A and B are shown apart, each in its own frame.
Chain A
Amino acid sequence: MLEVKNLKTQIDTNEGIVQAVDGVSFTVRAGETLGIVGESGSGKSVLANSIMQLNPNPPTFYPEGEILFEGSNLLKLSEKQLRKIRGNEIGMIFQDPMSSLNPVFKVGAQLVEAILTHQKMSRKDAKALAIELLKDVGIPDAERRMDDYPHHFSGGMRQRVLIAIALAGNPKLLIADEPTTALDVTIQAQILELMKGIQKKYGTAIILISHDLGVISQMAEKVLVMYSGRIVEKGSVNDIFYRTSMPYTWSLLRSLPRLDGVEHERLISIEGQPPNLVSPPKGCNFHPRCPFATEKCLEIDPELMPRKEGHWVACILTEQEFEAEKQRLESADREEVL
Chain B
Amino acid sequence: MLQYTIRRLFSIIPVMLIVSVIVFLIVHLTPGNPAYLILGEDSSPEAIAQLEKQLGLDKSMAVQFVDWIKNILMGDLGQSIYSSEPVIQVIMERVGPTFSLMITAMSLTLIIAIPTAVFIVWRRNTILDPLFTSASLLGASIPEFWFAMLLVLGLGVAVPIFPVAGYVAIDVGLGDWIYHLILPAFVLASVEIGLIARMLRDGMLESVNQDYTKTARAKGVRESVVLMKHVLSNALIPTTTVIGVMIAGLLGGTVIIETIFTIPGIGQLLIDSIHRRDYPVIQGVVLFIAVVYVFVNLLIDLLYAFLDPRIRYD
* Complex interface bits, B123-148 against A, C-beta within 8 A gives 1, otherwise 0: 00100000000000000000000000
Q: Which residues of B contact A (CB under 8 A)?
A: 125, 209-212, 214-223, 230, 233-234, 237, 307-310
Given contacts A94-B211, A99-B212, contact A104 B307 (CB under 8 A): yes
Q: Is the CB of A103 within 8 A of B221?
A: no
B230: chain A residues at CB < 8 Å are 102, 105
A79: contacting residue among B125, B223, B307, CB under 8 A: B223
Q: Which residues of A contact B (CB under 8 A)?
A: 49, 52, 54, 56, 58, 79, 83-88, 91-92, 94-96, 99-106, 110, 113-114, 117-118, 149, 151, 162, 165-166, 168-169
**Is A104 in contact with B233, judged by CB distance below 8 angstroms?**
yes
Provided the pairs A56-B209, A58-B125 are in contact, do residues A104 and B220 lie with their beta carbons within 8 angstroms? Answer: no
- How many A-B contacts at CB < 8 Å in the complex? 79
User: Hey, which chain B residues are within 8 Å of A149, CB to CB?
Assistant: 309-310
Alpha-carbon gap, A88 to B217, bound state (A): 12
Q: How far is the CA of A140 from the CA of B222 in the complex (A)?
A: 31
Contacting residue for A103 out of B214, B219, B222, B309, CB 8 A: B309
Contact indicator B212/A87 (Cβ below 8 Å): no
Instruction: Give complex CA distance A43, B237 in Å.
Output: 34
Given contacts A151-B309, A151-B310, contact A117 B211 (CB under 8 A): no
From B220, B233, B309, give the contact of A84 (CB < 8 A). B220
Q: Are A85 and B220 in contact (CB under 8 A)?
A: yes
Contacts of B223 in A (CB 8 A): 79
Partner of A113, one of B210, B219, B237: B219
Whether A92 touches B221, Cβ cut-off 8 Å, given contacts A99-B210, A103-B309, is no
Closest B residue to A97 by CB, please name it: B211
Residues of chain A contacted by B214 (CB below 8 angstroms): 49, 54, 94, 100
Say how far A7's CB is from chain B's closest CB, in angstroms.
18
Please tell me if the beta carbons of A113 and B221 are within 8 angstroms of each other in the complex. Answer: yes
Given contacts A54-B214, A102-B212, A104-B234, contact A117 B220 (CB under 8 A): yes
Chain B residue at smallest Cβ distance from A102: B212
The residue that B220 contacts in the complex, of A95, A105, A169, with Cβ under 8 A, is A169
